[in-house]
């Protein structure tokens, strides 16, 4: 069987999250999206853990369900270590999350007040605790410039030390994809995850990045085997935004979002000459620093990466309506999802000719998207990039400013 899974979301108890992030709403929206499996997120927070226990029942060996909905849940959380690096944890059961919470509670001052706890432990120590409860751990959004492993370290071993052998996956994040990350030799054995890191439950956020996985049965051990690419279980497709849409794809000012070439940002000492804001190194430049190869070297187990745009954003593109809550956008979205069952089916599985029978304009964009013919204005400095139907300079990457323009 093949399932579509989003392992990384947050609850209403994480900073910046929607108050609608509770399990019944997440389950309803995930079903419309077409996700078979979703991480609970925030499983160490005492209030969210109570919500999990109140709403979920075990479906099958570490996989949980909620009444009325087909989407299943796996117990997950994200934690921040003492170097501000984020890590994603997948648990084999609710009791495993409770066990980890009991073991590390004394190392966190906000485990009961924040969905993503800050731990006074380094990454290597966290792995020890995670292994004690038979859970899996790997770096979250590995390349982003604020709270990621490659923001703080130049190698995985520097972060995880001797416990690196227990790290089996890495989350790419919105600003990177397989074609970028497979230029780094030390990542060849790892499974790449493409997850949404959603803070709201609506289908343009939930599952905006997801993984298609081939397993025999829906249970935790099968997911673990797929992550470790064992016994024929494997990830068969990574799906997500084009990295140009990521907030930190290019090096840019975090205040006014002017983009800079890396050499000029260094000469400017990471201070924007326009507004004195802080220039943040982009994911593309960071991967160039870490890379040994100009072109990606995909290992035998690496699946294809498919770029998508959330359906509501595609409808926004063709209508020119910016508000995704517009009645016109909702009506067209509902019409397509009713016909094809889920948003994922519309975006990647349904026959284009059949979509054209329902909505010609949307079908044409999806066709261009599937063939890699969509143009983008690249993000940077904390501002999302965006797809565009217009001509874009600089090979569609967005224009970076040179130092000479400020002299």
Confirm if 25 and 198 have CB atoms less than 8 A apart.
no
pLDDT for residue 389:
87
Superfamily of domain 2-244: Metal-dependent hydrolases (3.20.20.140)
What's the whole-number mean pLDDT along residues 298-325? 95
| Gap between the Cα atoms of 243 and 175, Å rounded | 4
In sign, the C-alpha dihedral spanning 201, 202, 208, 213 is: positive
The 10s digit of each residue's pLDDT in 160-196 is 999 999 999 999 999 999 999 999 999 999 999 999 9
C-beta contacts of 101-107 below 8 A and 24+ residues apart = 101/44, 101/46, 101/49, 103/129, 103/132, 103/133, 104/44, 104/129
Percent of the chain with pLDDT over 90: 95
DSSP 8-state symbol, 303: P
Give residue 397's pLDDT band: very low, low, confident or very high (50, 70, 90). Answer: very low
Confirm if 378 and 397 have CB atoms less than 8 A apart.
yes
Confirm if 234 and 303 have CB atoms less than 8 A apart.
yes
Tell me whether strands 210-214 and 2-6 are parallel, antiparallel or unpaired: antiparallel
pLDDT for residue 400:
56
pLDDT over threshold 80, residue 398: no
What's the whole-number mean pLDDT along residues 68-82? 97
pLDDT for residue 336:
98
pLDDT for residue 406:
43
DSSP 8-state symbol, 215: -
What value, to the nearest 5°, has the Cα angle with vertex 349 and ends 365 and 296?
Answer: 80
Domain ranges of the chain: 2-244, 310-370
pLDDT over threshold 80, residue 231: yes
Confirm if 125 and 51 have CB atoms less than 8 A apart.
no
Rg of the chain over all Cα atoms, to the nearest angstrom: 21
Give residue 405's pLDDT band: very low, low, confident or very high (50, 70, 90). Answer: low
**DSSP structure string for 260-295:** B-HHHHHHTTTB-TTT-PBEE--HHHHHHHH-S-SS
pLDDT for residue 402:
52
pLDDT over threshold 60, residue 399: no
The 10s digit of each residue's pLDDT in 1-37 is 999 999 999 999 999 999 999 999 999 999 999 999 9
Percent of the chain with pLDDT over 70: 96
Whether the model clears a pTM of 0.85, i.e. scores above it, the answer is: yes
DSSP 8-state symbol, 165: G
pLDDT for residue 269:
96
Residue 401 φ then ψ, to 5°: -85, 145
pLDDT over threshold 80, residue 59: yes
pLDDT for residue 390:
81
Three-class DSSP category at 298: coil
The CA-to-CA distance between both ends of the chain, in Å, stands at 60
């Amino acid at each position: 069987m093949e399932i579509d899974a989003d392992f990384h979301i947050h609850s209403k108890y994480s900073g910046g999250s929607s108050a609608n992030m509770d399990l019944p709403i997440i389950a309803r929206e995930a079903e419309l999206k077409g996700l078979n499996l979703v991480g609970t997120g925030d499983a160490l927070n005492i209030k969210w853990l109570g919500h999990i226990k109140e709403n979920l029942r075990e479906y099958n060996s570490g996989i949980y369900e909620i009444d009325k909905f087909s989407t299943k849940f796996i117990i997950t959380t994200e934690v921040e270590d003492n170097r501000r690096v984020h890590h994603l944890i997948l648990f084999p059961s609710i009791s495993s999350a409770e066990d980890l919470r009991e073991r590390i509670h004394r190392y966190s001052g906000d485990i009961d007040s924040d969905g993503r706890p800050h731990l006074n432990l380094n990454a290597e120590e966290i792995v020890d605790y995670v292994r004690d409860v038979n859970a899996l751990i790997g770096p979250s959004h590995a390349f982003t410039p604020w709270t990621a492993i490659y923001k703080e370290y130049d190698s995985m071993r520097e972060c995880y030390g001797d416990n690196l052998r227990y790290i089996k996956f890495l989350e790419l994040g919105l600003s990177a994809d397989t074609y970028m990350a497979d230029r780094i030799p030390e990542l060849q054995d790892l499974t790449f995850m493409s997850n949404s890191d959603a803070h709201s439950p609506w289908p343009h956020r939930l599952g905006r990045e997801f993984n298609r996985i081939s397993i025999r049965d829906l249970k935790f051990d099968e997911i673990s085997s797929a992550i470790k690419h064992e016994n024929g279980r494997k990830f068969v497709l990574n799906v997500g935004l084009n990295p140009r849409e990521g907030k930190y794809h290019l090096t840019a000012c975090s205040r006014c979002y002017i983009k800079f070439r890396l050499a000029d940002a260094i000469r400017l000492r990471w201070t924007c000459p326009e507004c004195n804001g802080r220039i943040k190194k982009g994911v593309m430049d960071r991967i160039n620093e870490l890379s040994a190869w100009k072109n990606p070297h995909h290992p035998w187990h690496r699946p294809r990466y498919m770029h998508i745009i959330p359906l509501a954003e595609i409808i926004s593109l063709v209508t020119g309506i910016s508000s995704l809550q517009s009645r016109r956008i909702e009506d067209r979205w509902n019409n397509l999802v009713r016909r094809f069952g889920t948003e994922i089916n519309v975006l990647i599985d349904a026959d284009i000719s059949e979509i054209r029978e329902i909505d010609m304009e949307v079908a044409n964009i999806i066709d261009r998207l599937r063939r890699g013919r969509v143009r983008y204005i690249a993000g940077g400095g904390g501002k999302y990039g965006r797809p565009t139907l217009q001509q874009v300079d600089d090979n569609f990457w967005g224009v970076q400013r040179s130092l000479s323009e400020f002299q």
